[in-house]
Structure 1
Amino acid sequence: MAKKEENVSTDDAVMQMLLDLTDKDGVEIGITLNISGTVVAGTLVGPHTYYEGIIASADEVENSTLKHVLHKKFTDLKEAYISERQEEEEKKKQDMIATFIHLKDAAYISANTQSPIKSHAWWRGRIDSIDGFSFKL
């Protein structure tokens, strides 16, 4: 998270509203993003859902050592995120805005495909890299 004045390019009111719905209310929203000529489609989710999904995916890895390491690392990241959010709430920093966007079932769309191929990919990107977006409620 960053203060608005530190990251002005991410203060699109519609995007922030969508991110708040996913982060605070657990809403999931179908979205298509345009990023420097690349199109990515998926379901917009909050960071908590993103980390939970990554951890669940890590638990499906066949290599037990890799499974354990991935589970631990992503659990640590999730706990750090939760801790950061709690600190923000305690300090009542209402002027904080998200700097990353999270998608589940993400797919890249090219000119050769008419609709995105369904995948179970988790995607994370910087909000200030987004050139445009469309969504379906």
Structure 2
Amino acid sequence: MPSKNGTKDSMLEVFVYAAQDYGYSIDITLNVHGSLVTGKIVGEQEYFQRLSENFKDDSSETAEKIKDELLKASEDAKKSDNNNVEFIHLKNAQVYVGDTQPTPSENHFLWRGKIDDVNGFFLGRIKQKN
């Protein structure tokens, strides 16, 4: 359950727990130190699984080790009964700073941030103008 320590937004933690414990995913936009980060919340397990896919076409020894560590982290997250989440994970994320085009402006990426660093949020995502 969400912590009552006063440093994290307990409602934001509810969405993170729903993603981690039940696979529930919802569009969200976060205010993080003046930047807007928009995407879909995913659980830690899915985040590490998807991140490992970035190394599937690289057969170097280093890439294989990184991929193995990410897959291990995904499995550990699956087994974990962690009642104290520290991070929020987004897929199809984009970052907006001011009135500029989002980063990246094409394609979407995975994003991981500390829940303590989120200053505010709203449900839904920012749509890029074409």
Question: Considering the TM-score relative to the shorter chain, is it more than 0.5?
Answer: yes
The whole-number CA distance in structure 2 between the counterparts of 1:54 and 1:31 is: 20
* One-letter identity of the residue aligned with 2:30: L
Of residues 77, 82, 92 in structure 1, which corresponds to 2:78?
A: 82
| Structure 1 residues 118 and 15: CA distance shift in structure 2, 3 A | farther
**Residue ranges of structure 2 left out of the alignment (5+ in a row):** 126-130
* One-letter identity of the residue aligned with 2:60: S
Give how far 1:118 is off: 4.5
Aligned to 1:15: 12
Give % identity: 25
Alignment coverage as a number of residue pairs = 124
**Residue ranges of structure 1 left out of the alignment (5+ in a row):** 89-95
Matched, 1:130 2:126: no
Once the two structures are superposed, residues 22-80 of structure 1 have per-residue CA deviations (whole angstroms, 9 ceiling, x without a partner) of 112212211111111111111111111111111222213x3533431221111222233
The whole-number CA distance in structure 2 between the counterparts of 1:122 and 1:78 is: 14
Matched, 1:69 2:57: no
Aligned to 1:102: 89
| Structure 1 residues 108 and 20: CA distance shift in structure 2, 3 A | same
The whole-number CA distance in structure 1 between the counterparts of 2:29 and 2:108 is: 16
Matched, 1:48 2:9: no
| RMSD of equivalent CA atoms | 2.7
Please report the TM-score for the alignment, with normalisation by the length of structure 2. 0.78
| Structure 1 residues 58 and 114: CA distance shift in structure 2, 3 A | closer
Give how far 1:113 is off: 2.5
* One-letter identity of the residue aligned with 1:37: G
* One-letter identity of the residue aligned with 1:100: F
Q: Secondary structure at the match of 2:7?
A: helix
Please report the TM-score for the alignment, with normalisation by the length of structure 1. 0.74
* Contact 1:22-1:28 within 8 A present in 2 as well: yes
